[in-house]
A = this chain, B = another copy of it.
Amino acid sequence: MEYTKPLARLIECFQKLPSIGPKTAARLALYIVKMSENEVANFSNALLEAKTKISYCETCFNMSCSNPCEICSDNQRNKGLICVVAETKDLMAIEKTNEYQGVYHVLQGLISPIDGIGPEDIRIKELLYRITNEDIKEVILALNPSVEGEATSLYLNKLLKPFRIRITRIAFGLPMGSELEYVDEMTLTKALEGRVEIE
């Protein structure tokens, strides 16, 4: 027996989402059928609303319902400090630390020749525009320590050098709570390379 049609259709929808395989998709779909009608209607609406109301800030390309976004229009933020991230989810991660007081620039991707993504496919020219036209003091590169992240960081570093602003990147090293013994060689190499003077 096959899944009854509306169920099969919902499973297919769930399966399109990242990290959801066929088994999880089936479990989620069966769970939906057991939820109250109200809850399902709310979920259904939330999907539509998120898609129709959310757009991108035309300054920093963060996802937002307003343009400029909440961060770009916040006067308490240090507009001279730009943190460059690949995706909105990375911005969210940094916001959760409650430590960063500058603004952001979301590249909406990373340079990845294998996937056919070059510098012109991500929001690099928009970053250059901001650096040319705004009074930027420092750019922090906060990209993943992956091949694509490193390539994009190198590219940006080379590109931004002539502007004579401070260019930094976030530190790579041992995560808090980890044990030296169990950390992989690459991380340990980066931790050694990035060692700092003890004050």
| Interfacial residues, chain A to chain B (CB-CB below 8 A) | 1, 3-7, 9-10, 12-13, 16-20, 24, 26-33, 35, 37, 39-54, 63-66, 69-71, 74, 87-89, 92, 95
Quickly give the copy total for this chain. Answer: 2
In the complex formed, the residue of B with least CB distance to A33 is B54
Residues of B contacting A53 in the complex (Cβ-Cβ under 8 angstroms): 6
Residues of B contacting A52 in the complex (Cβ-Cβ under 8 angstroms): 37
Main secondary structure of the interface of A (DSSP, over half): helix
- The answer to whether B63 touches A33, judged by C-beta atoms less than 8 angstroms apart, is yes
Q: Smallest distance from the beta carbon of A195 to chain B beta carbons, Å?
A: 31
Residues of B contacting A44 in the complex (Cβ-Cβ under 8 angstroms): 44-45, 47-48
- The answer to whether A46 touches B6, judged by C-beta atoms less than 8 angstroms apart, is yes
